[in-house]
């Protein structure tokens, strides 16, 4: 998913909390930065009497590290697809049987039975999206670039120092693998070396690796091209009308983020109420309108803002959906190869 600026806050600070709200207890939510509207959480507080405290993280890996280190203060966390599988295998999640919740009947395929949790025993869907790249058409040679990962990995010379890649090993490695037609979970050192060579060749063209502030950086025209999530691209275009989000013809990483309950959560009942509440069309649509990402809840698009509903980057055509490349859970050997590529790249 999908970060802008790290911060930690308690959304209910300064509010007058009624006695009934105090009695209902709390919910400690650990989410990606800038990934849920405060007004939505306030409405949940009002409707449920449950006080929400929000803390944020910047990557799936930092989320995993924190939970493995023994963090016990969270009731709902928001991992991406592949990370749900890892957390299940490592015994970090409560079994919640989301498929039996009242609102689960509204979850659309394929996210009603995803590969990483086919019975939805441990997770419920939140947002889904894709990771491509955005460029400023007013500042690239000829005003247009090819709809190909080649435009990102080997950009025109005029863009040197004006391109940013995400500081995310999973996103960057997967994009390179798709472009090179290499299995994203390859265990072959020769194939991993091809990815390494591509990323090393791209590195001199980059201004930085950064997953933080992708929207603001593009809107301020500090850079010309940025690897981005489609929701961030939608929000970029709110102020930078010349921004173009690319669905590369070779394929585009498809992901979804999920609501789960960490093992030993203190406010399990409140967490279950929140997860079911978030599967109501009006509620999840409010989150989509804020984040700029789609969701898997039937009927939610009726509550979308008009420009969000009309944006093909968010509501892609059938031809665009055919380009989706879902995340896979890779073997330890494949992950070790990937991590070595990343370590060498970041030296």
In degrees rounded to 5, what are phi and psi of residue 151? -65, -30
Average pLDDT across the chain, whole number: 92
Domains of the chain and CATH, by start: 26-128+256-314 (3.40.190.10), 130-254+325-346 (3.40.190.10)
Check whether 170 is labelled as a binding-site residue. yes
CA torsion through residues 230, 297, 118, 99, sign = positive
Q: Which residues of 157-224 form beta strands (DSSP E)?
A: 163-165, 206-209
Q: Identify whether the C-beta of residue 82 lies closer than 8 Å to the C-beta of residue 116.
A: yes
Q: What is the pTM of this model?
A: 0.82
The predicted pLDDT at position 37 comes to 97
For helices 189-202 and 169-180, the axis angle rounded to 10 degrees is: 110
- pLDDT for position 23: 47
How sure is the predictor about 2, in pLDDT bands with cuts at 50, 70 and 90? low
Residue range 274-287, pLDDT digits in tens: 999 999 999 999 99
Q: What is the largest CA-CA distance in the chain?
A: 63
pLDDT of residue 222: 98
Summarised one tens digit per residue, pLDDT across range 47-57 is: 999 999 999 99
Q: Within a 10 A sphere around the Cβ of 7, how many other Cβ atoms?
A: 10
Q: According to the annotation, is 169 in a ligand binding site?
A: yes
Instruction: Output DSSP code: residue 224.
Output: S
Distance in angstroms (rounded) separating the CA atoms of residues 62 and 312: 32
pLDDT at 1: 58
Query: What's the confidence (pLDDT) of residue 5?
Result: 39
Q: What is the mean pLDDT of residues 36-60?
A: 96
**Which of 274, 276, 320 lies closest to 129, judged by CA?**
320
The separation between CA 176 and the C-alpha centre of its own chain, rounded to angstroms, equals 18
Kindly tell me the burial class for residue 137, based on how many C-beta atoms sit within 10 Å of its own C-beta (0-12, 13-18, 19 or more): middle
pLDDT, tens digit (0-9, with 9 covering 90-100), for 167-224: 999 999 999 999 999 999 999 999 999 999 999 999 999 999 999 899 999 999 999 9
Mind listing the pLDDT tens digit for each residue in 291-304?
Answer: 999 999 999 999 99
Tell me what pLDDT residue 20 has: 39
Strands (E) located in 8-67: 26-32, 51-57
pLDDT score of 148: 98
Share of the chain above pLDDT 90, in %: 86
* Half-sphere exposure for 136 (CA within 13 Å, toward CB): 21
Q: Is the pLDDT assigned to residue 91 strictly greater than 50?
A: yes
82 annotated binding-site participant:
yes
| Each residue's pLDDT tens digit, 136-170 | 999 999 999 999 999 999 999 999 999 999 999 99
Does the N-terminal peptide bond of residue 110 adopt cis geometry, omega within 30 degrees of 0?
yes
Alpha-carbon distance 53 to 26, whole Å? 7
What is the torsional sign of CA 74, 77, 79, 85? positive
Contact between 279 and 104 (Cβ < 8 Å): yes
Residue for token pair 């009927």: 299
Flag whether pLDDT at 7 surpasses 70. no
The verdict on whether residue 250 carries a ligand-binding annotation is: no
The reply, when asked if residue 319 is annotated as ligand binding, is no
């Amino acid at each position: 998913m999908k970060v802008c600026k790290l911060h930690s806050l308690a959304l209910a600070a300064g509010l007058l909390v009624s006695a009934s709200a105090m009695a209902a207890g709390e919910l400690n939510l650990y989410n990606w930065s800038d990934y849920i509207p405060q007004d939505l959480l306030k409405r949940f507080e009002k409707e449920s009497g449950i006080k929400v405290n929000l803390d944020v993280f910047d990557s799936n890996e930092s989320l995993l590290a924190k939970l493995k280190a023994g963090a016990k203060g969270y009731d709902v966390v928001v991992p991406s697809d592949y990370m749900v599988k890892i957390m299940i295998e490592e015994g970090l999640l409560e079994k919640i049987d989301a498929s039996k919740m009242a609102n689960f009947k509204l979850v659309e395929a394929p996210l009603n039975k995803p590969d990483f949790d086919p019975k939805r025993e441990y997770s419920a869907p939140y947002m889904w999206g894709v990771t491509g790249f955005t460029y400023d058409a007013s500042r690239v040679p000829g005003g247009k670039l090819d709809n190909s990962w080649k435009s990102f990995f080997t950009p025109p010379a005029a863009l040197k120092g004006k391109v940013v890649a995400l500081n995310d090993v999973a996103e960057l490695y997967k994009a390179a693998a798709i472009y090179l037609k290499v299995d994203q979970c390859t265990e072959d050192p020769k194939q991993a070396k091809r990815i390494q060579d591509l990323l090393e060749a791209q590195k001199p063209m980059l201004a930085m690796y950064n997953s933080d502030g992708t929207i603001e950086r593009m809107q301020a025209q500090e850079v010309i091209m940025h690897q981005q999530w489609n929701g961030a691209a939608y929000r970029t275009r709110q102020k930078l009308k010349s921004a173009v989000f690319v669905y590369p013809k070779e394929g585009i990483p498809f992901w979804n983020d999920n609501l789960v309950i960490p093992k030993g959560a203190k406010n399990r009942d409140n967490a279950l109420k929140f997860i079911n509440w978030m599967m109501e069309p009006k509620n999840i649509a409010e989150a989509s309108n804020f984040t700029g990402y789609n969701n898997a809840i039937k009927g939610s698009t009726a509550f979308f803002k008009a420009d969000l509903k009309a944006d093909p980057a968010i509501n892609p055509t059938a031809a665009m959906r055919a380009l989706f490349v879902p995340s896979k859970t890779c073997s330890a050997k494949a992950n070790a190869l990937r991590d070595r590529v990343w370590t060498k790249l970041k030296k």
